[in-house]
Amino acid sequence: MKLHHNPASPFVRIVRMTAHELGIADDIELVHTGTFLPIAEHDAVAKDNPLGKIPTLITDHGHALYDSRVICEYLVHHAGDKTLLPDEPVSRFRILTLESLAIGVADAGVSLRYETFLRPQDLRWSDWIERQTSRINAALDALESDHADSLGEINLGTISTAAVLGYLDFRWPDWGWREGRSKTSAFYDGFAQRPSMILTMPE
């Protein structure tokens, strides 16, 4: 398998962490995209994904898979694992909802990064910045109040959550997201010691 990736992407990190947790990381060849700009087509990625986005996985059968949620579910299926995403519906959809919440934080975070770092300063939209920030904080509050009981498990939901919390630390070390969120903070501090987190740390 081949994975178009940039290690700074939280979506890529979710996929890579999932592969490590499944014990199949060595089966995936990492194809580094280099600089990846949202306003320019990346020829190599666009060849395999018409959206031109990462992560994109090429299976051993030559099939292109995207986005991170589809790729992770494929990796779980490929590995024959029933733990990270069980078939039992109550657990399954609880995990998928937590995964979706984390992906939403990643979406808002990447959008915020583009707006505050890549867009020319005189074109930045303050209302957009405020909305992405409030969206992230609302999701973090929901993690603390509604999902704390699920954070003790290792599954696609908690992997995704750990990856996006790491993205906040990576891009905005002064965000202060731990303040008032002791359960989420304790979860992250514990998960950060796992090999899947350490081996996928962006530079």
| pLDDT, tens only, 95-135 | 999 999 999 999 999 999 999 998 899 999 999 999 999 99
> In CATH, what number does 89-194 get?
1.20.1050.10
| pLDDT, tens only, 51-87 | 999 999 999 999 999 999 999 999 999 999 999 999 9
Q: Output phi, psi for 107, to 5 deg.
A: -60, -50
Is CATH 3.40.30.10 the classification given to domain 2-79?
yes
List the chain domain ranges.
2-79, 89-194
Which pLDDT value is given to residue 34?
Answer: 87
- Residue pair 2/58 in contact (Cβ under 8 Å)? The answer is yes
pLDDT band at 162 (very low <50, low <70, confident <90, very high): very high
Q: Output phi, psi for 66, to 5 deg.
A: -165, 150
Q: Is the pLDDT of residue 35 over 90?
A: no
Question: What is the distance, to the nearest Å, from the Cα of residue 52 to the centroid of all Cα atoms in its chain?
Answer: 17
Q: Which residues are within 8 A (CB) of 194 and not within 5 positions of it... i.e. 6 or more apart?
A: 21, 162
Which pLDDT value is given to residue 120?
Answer: 92
Percent of the chain scoring above 90 in pLDDT? 95
Q: Quote the pTM value.
A: 0.96
Q: Is the pLDDT of residue 38 over 90?
A: no
Q: Which residues are within 8 A (CB) of 118 and not within 5 positions of it... i.e. 6 or more apart?
A: 37, 38
pLDDT band at 203 (very low <50, low <70, confident <90, very high): confident
Q: Output phi, psi for 177, to 5 deg.
A: -65, -20
